[in-house]
Structure formats: structure tokens, C-alpha cells
């Protein structure tokens, strides 16, 4: 993972952590369901952005590195890992 991506992702994850804490407080305070659900959707969208950035980084760093190395076993391993990840996401 590239250093600039790591810092950006950690900042996003810290914000998400704060959002989740806010949702917990909303539930404790018996806030209106739609307001809580709206915040849950915002967290889900934020996590989706983190996931997209991580996938982009994986493709641009890990998979590209395997391709450049010329190591077919490593290339197959990286491709298989990505396929398994995507399969788990569809379950």
C-alpha cells in the first residue's frame, strides 16, 4: 500500500468510526428510525469508497507487481485471491 493512500484511508476510517459512534448514540436516544437508517446508509457508502480505494491500490500495486515480476505462480495467486474476494461479496 502506498503511504499517501494509507494516510487517506486511515482518515476515512476514523471518520467512519465516528459516524458509527454517532449511530449508536442515536439508537440510545431513541432517535427517529429514518434518521438512523439514513446515517447507516452514509456509513455503508463511506465504507464502499474505502473498499474501492483498497481494490484500486491492490490492482495498482500488488497485482501489477505480480505481472511485472513475470512470476506466473504469483500472478495466478493474486488473481485467485481477487476472485475469491469477489465471490465472497456476492454471497
Do 23 and 40 meet the contact criterion of CB atoms below 8 Å apart? yes
| pLDDT tens digits for range 68-82 | 999 999 999 999 999
The answer, as to whether pTM is greater than 0.85, is no
pLDDT confidence of residue 33: 97
Q: What's the pLDDT band for 91 if we cut at 50, 70, 90?
A: confident
Helix (H) or strand (E) run with residue 63 in it = none
pLDDT confidence of residue 87: 93
Q: How many domains does the chain have?
A: 1
Do 58 and 39 meet the contact criterion of CB atoms below 8 Å apart? no
Q: Which cell is 28 given?
A: 440510545
| pLDDT tens digits for range 28-61 | 999 999 999 999 999 999 999 999 999 999 999 8
CATH number of the domain encompassing residue 37: 1.20.58.1000
Q: Give φ, ψ of 5 to 5 degrees.
A: -70, -40
pLDDT confidence of residue 3: 72
Using CA atoms, how far apart are residues 40 and 11, in angstroms rounded to an integer?
19
The domain containing residue 8 runs over which residues?
Answer: 3-89
Residues 6+ apart with CB under 8 A from 47: 16
Amino acid at each position: 500500500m502506498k503511504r499517501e493512500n494509507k494516510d487517506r484511508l486511515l482518515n476515512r476510517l476514523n471518520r467512519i468510526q465516528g459516524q458509527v459512534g454517532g449511530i449508536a448514540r442515536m439508537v440510545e436516544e431513541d432517535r427517529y428510525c429514518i434518521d438512523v437508517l439514513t446515517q447507516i446508509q452514509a456509513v455503508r457508502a463511506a465504507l464502499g469508497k474505502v473498499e474501492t480505494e483498497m481494490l484500486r491500490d491492490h490492482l495498482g500495486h500488488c497485482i501489477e507487481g505480480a505481472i511485472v515480476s513475470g512470476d506466473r505462480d504469483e500472478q495466478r495467486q493474486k488473481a485467485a485471491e481477487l476472485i475469491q474476494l469477489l465471490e465472497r461479496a456476492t454471497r
